[in-house]
Amino acid sequence: MGEFCQCFAPPVIAVCGTKKSGKTTLISHILPLLREREMRVAVIKHDGHDFDPDVKGTDSYRLRMAGASGVAVYSRSRFMVVREEEASVERMIACFRDMDLILLEGGKNSPYPKLQVVHPGSSEGILCDPRTLLALCSEVPLRIGDVPCLHPTDWRGITEVILRFCAALRNPQPGPAQSSPDSRHGC
């Protein structure tokens, strides 16, 4: 596995690919495997279009339509906050600082380490900087240096790549350029 600058706590891994390549399917299958390892994982999903977070007819929808710049709905076990303002990935990450891992669906141009899903017919090549790749998830074998290529339904194998990456962040192995604990992240 390559050297990754991971200045983010918790670790963030982008799961990228073209539209309809299987990103959501992959994430939905590896989440239970990460939970088995007692990891608390948040998912941040990018939507290229604007979206409506409220269902028409709910009180929160009515309040937002009436002019509220922010609405929060909560119960004993969950909450939802909607704010009418510009959003960024960094702001979303800050909302999940207490998690063990954040999976970012999308983010092919982000600085985060990546799993790229390659699906024949919708994507054939590499979308992101190859230096940021943790693994390729492809039905067709691809070779990019020492980046592992796993079948997109090898959920346990993909989960192991993620777990090894997280373990390496927790227990970095000092190399020639990493002589002091403060130089470890290089950011």
**Does 72 reside within a domain?**
no
**Per mean pLDDT, which range of 16-20, 46-50, 95-99, 132-136 is the poorest?**
46-50
**Does 6 reside within a domain?**
no
pLDDT score of 179 more than 50: no
Tokens 């790749």 appear where? Answer: 133
Residue 130 CA, chain-centre distance (Å), reads 17
Domain count, the chain: 1
Percentage with pLDDT > 70 across the chain: 84
CA distances from 48 to 51, 54, 56, 62, 107 (A): 9, 18, 21, 25, 11
Tokens 């909302």 appear where? Answer: 95
Rounded Cα–Cα distance for residues 162 and 89 (Å): 20
Average pLDDT over residues 152-179: 83
**Does 63 reside within a domain?**
no
**Paired tokens of 172:** 């970095």
Question: Cα-flanking dihedrals φ and ψ of residue 161, to 5°?
Answer: -60, -45
**Does 66 reside within a domain?**
no
Residue (of 71, 96, 95) closest to 81 by Cα position:
71
Query: Which residue range(s) make up the domain with 164?
Result: 12-50+86-183
**Does 125 reside within a domain?**
yes
pLDDT score of 116 more than 50: yes
**Does 137 reside within a domain?**
yes
Q: What's the predicted TM-score (pTM) here?
A: 0.82
**Does 130 reside within a domain?**
yes
What's the pLDDT score for residue 52? Answer: 66
Residue 29 CA, chain-centre distance (Å), reads 14
Bridge partners, 151 (sequence order): none
**Does 62 reside within a domain?**
no
Residue type, position 96, single letter: F
pLDDT in tens, 47-81: 766 666 777 888 988 998 899 999 999 999 999 88
Tokens 């699906």 appear where? Answer: 119
pLDDT score of 119 more than 90: no
What's the pLDDT score for residue 74? Answer: 92
CATH number of the structural domain spanning residue 173:
3.40.50.300
Q: Tell me what the pLDDT averaged over the chain comes to.
A: 84
